[in-house]
Amino acid sequence: MSDTIVRIRKIDNGFVVCACDPKIQADNRNPKKPYRNPECEYAFDTFEKVLKWLKANVDNLVPEPDDDAEYANSFDQATAEDR
């Protein structure tokens, strides 16, 4: 899903929310378990239910920072006193 946390699509009878399941992502890091596609789809008949689901799952939806993003400005921080 690249930089996307969730995708919301309108369908004839409601909405579909596409998001990565954090439990499946964690299982995929284990080399002894088979790889599974972490992207899941959740269907809702009203947008209010979409918002309720998003609010309930927001902590699980935000990905952990990868090493590149976490340390992207560490050189600038380390050399700030030298400038």
Task: At 8, give phi and psi (nearest 5°).
Answer: -120, 125
3-state secondary structure of 24: helix
3-state secondary structure of 39: strand
Mean pLDDT to the nearest integer, 21-50: 92
pLDDT interval class at 41 (50, 70, 90): very high
Greater confidence (72 vs 51) lies with 51
pLDDT above 80: residue 83: no
Give me the residue spans of the domains in the chain: 6-82
